[in-house]
Amino acid sequence: MGKKSKKKLQKESLKRKILVGLGIPGIFIPGLILASLLGWNWKRDLAKMEQRGGYTQSEVLFPQKAVVAQVIDGDTLTLDNGWNLRLVGVDAPGQKEDFGEEASSYTTKFCEAKTVQLEYNQDQTDPYGRLLAYVWYEGKMLNLELVKKGLAKVVIYEKSKKLIYQDELLAAEAKAKEEKKGIWSY
């Protein structure tokens, strides 16, 4: 057996040990067997999910409506299901930065303890596991309102596809800059 084959075998063995240590085979495999015995048709369910656009269209993973349990800062919320949500396409100042308290206060008045509509862009989560969404309440989009008031700037990442509301956000930012609102006042 060559060195490469031996190393590969050791890596596979290590992966197996980790999985076993976590109890994955002990829970997962019996769970699959039980689900099959109870009549779970995984092929049918996967086909249904594919027809609906895959897991990214899952109402469980990406709810269309949610109650905002807490506002963390101007652009980050905690939903009633415990998930954190970051407003897509914008960056509000942090609490201790200029206009940070104003951004947080506006976001709190806009949506805390209210049922909001969530709309997702192509990227639905960030590297920190937070949902990325546009937040709507009574026909107004929080992301856009923060930018209009100069309480957030537009953030577009080079590797991302064009945002659904990119043109509207950029136009609102240009107007806020021109009118020297909020973060653009100096």
Does this model's pTM top 0.85? My answer is no
Q: What is the pLDDT of residue 7?
A: 56
Residue 70: how many CB atoms within 10 A of its CB?
A: 13
Percent of the chain at pLDDT > 90 equals 58
Where is 16: in which H helix or E strand? helix 3-22
Residue-wise pLDDT for 156-169, tens only, equals 988 888 999 999 99
Q: What is the pLDDT of residue 93?
A: 97
Residue bearing the bigger pLDDT, 13 or 140: 140
CB contact at 8 A, 65 and 77: no
**Structural domains present in the chain:** 3-48 (no CATH), 65-184 (2.40.50.90)
Q: What is the pLDDT of residue 58?
A: 63
Mean pLDDT (the chain) is 85
DSSP string of 17-77, one letter each residue: HHHHHHTHHHHHHHHHHHHHHTT--HHHHHHHHHHTTSGGG-TTTS-SEEEEEEEEETTEE
How many angstroms separate the CA atoms of 24 and 68, rounded? Answer: 34
Q: What is the pLDDT of residue 60?
A: 65
In this prediction, residue 115 has a pLDDT band, given cuts at 50, 70 and 90, of very high
Q: What is the pLDDT of residue 147?
A: 98
Using a 10 angstrom Cβ sphere, with 0-12 exposed, 13-18 middle and 19 or more buried, the burial of residue 183 is buried
Residue bearing the bigger pLDDT, 124 or 57: 124
Residue bearing the bigger pLDDT, 44 or 65: 65
User: Is residue 4 over pLDDT 60?
Assistant: no
CA dihedral over 135, 139, 143, 149, signed as positive or negative? negative
Q: Which residue has the tokens 């709507």?
A: 136
In this prediction, residue 71 has a pLDDT band, given cuts at 50, 70 and 90, of very high
Q: What is the pLDDT of residue 122?
A: 82
Using a 10 angstrom Cβ sphere, with 0-12 exposed, 13-18 middle and 19 or more buried, the burial of residue 100 is middle
β-bridge pairing 131-137 and 84-87: parallel
Q: What is the pLDDT of residue 65?
A: 96
